[in-house]
Structure 1
């Protein structure tokens, strides 16, 4: 039982630790010290829902309707390109980066949801891949695997968000913000291109 749970934990962590749009946004919000609890909670709950849906067998349904993933691919690419360009524009004005007006909680939540659910890789990783692996363990043990993967997601987003918040003092210089915005812009545009190219 513990080995199945541990496998779920490590598999879940392995899939979400790579830097992506969602992780870059959580990192940025942590450094800004802005609505970080809402962002961490929303990312972890979204991942949990998707992992559990995949474990329940929704992954086979998603695989049966590839047109849904095609729509998500194009919508996600457009959103990531817009987010990346906005990050580059912010980097051009480093003097304002630390003094930016705080974003509303609604705006931050909307961005978190868009970066989570407009990314077809989220469905492929959590619903299809994790769901498929979980279902290899049989009817009962698959939920043990899924609980490990869900815990991995909670640990990762909490560590990333609150770790960035703890380091925000050291990272709050305008030059650091400029570099961070450029890196986020590069990641977002690279992911957009990757989505467009399939």
Structure 2
């Protein structure tokens, strides 16, 4: 089966399958959605970056990244440090007696929120593997005339997902009026980020084949 509709749906389905895994970026968007803090700019940032990376991959930049393993190692080291720090902060926040009240009293500025979003996005090598390499390879397999529709479908899935977790998080807000729920979330965020940091360090330490 080929054609414009199939190209769009192929991009949408593959992007949705890759993006729905629990990761640091998704957890950060969820947390900001629960706090109703800069949700629109964060969703727009995440969706736009995904769209640009997917388009770049389909255009052929994925082949360049695949041939530059040292760049991947540097990204992994930077990402491990970034995720490790944020994981530690989340666990410290969960353990602090007054963490919930302080979090409600003072939030992130828009600049700091977007800077954190950029860190979770660009310092994660898996972002490039998913959007640039995997999506790029799949998109390149489409006929040249259909590639823009593949990219449009993939970008649509990304925007839809981030909007769903960013704005849909408010449905869970009654649950998170309880301090214990915030602590559970912070523990989940902290452990997930530390695990991701450890996996990135392990990938750097693993000898190249």
TM category, shorter: over 0.9
Q: Which residue, 39, 45, 50 being the options, matches 2:48? A: 45
1:71 corresponds in structure 2 to: 74
Q: Does 1:150 align with 2:137?
A: no
Tell me the matched-pair count: 198
2:133 corresponds in structure 1 to: 128
TM-score, length-normalised on structure 2? 0.91
1:85 corresponds in structure 2 to: 88
1:62 corresponds in structure 2 to: 65
User: SS in structure 2 opposite 1:137?
Assistant: coil
2:27 corresponds in structure 1 to: 24
CA root-mean-square deviation: 1.1
After TM superposition, where is structure 1 displaced by more than 4 Å over at least 4 residues in a row? none
Q: CA deviation at 1:98?
A: 4.5
- Please give the alpha-carbon distance, in whole angstroms, between the structure 2 residues aligned to 1:35 and 1:94: 26
TM-score, length-normalised on structure 1? 0.96
Larger Rg: 2
- Please give the alpha-carbon distance, in whole angstroms, between the structure 2 residues aligned to 1:155 and 1:94: 36
2:206 corresponds in structure 1 to: none
- Please give the alpha-carbon distance, in whole angstroms, between the structure 2 residues aligned to 1:170 and 1:82: 27
Q: Which residue, 177, 185, 188 being the options, matches 2:182? A: 177
1:42-64, CA deviations, whole angstroms, 9 ceiling, x for partnerless residues? 11111111011111111111112
Unaligned runs of at least 5 residues, structure 1: none
The answer to whether the Cα contact below 8 Å between 1:94 and 1:177 also exists between their aligned partners in 2 is no
User: SS in structure 2 opposite 1:34?
Assistant: coil
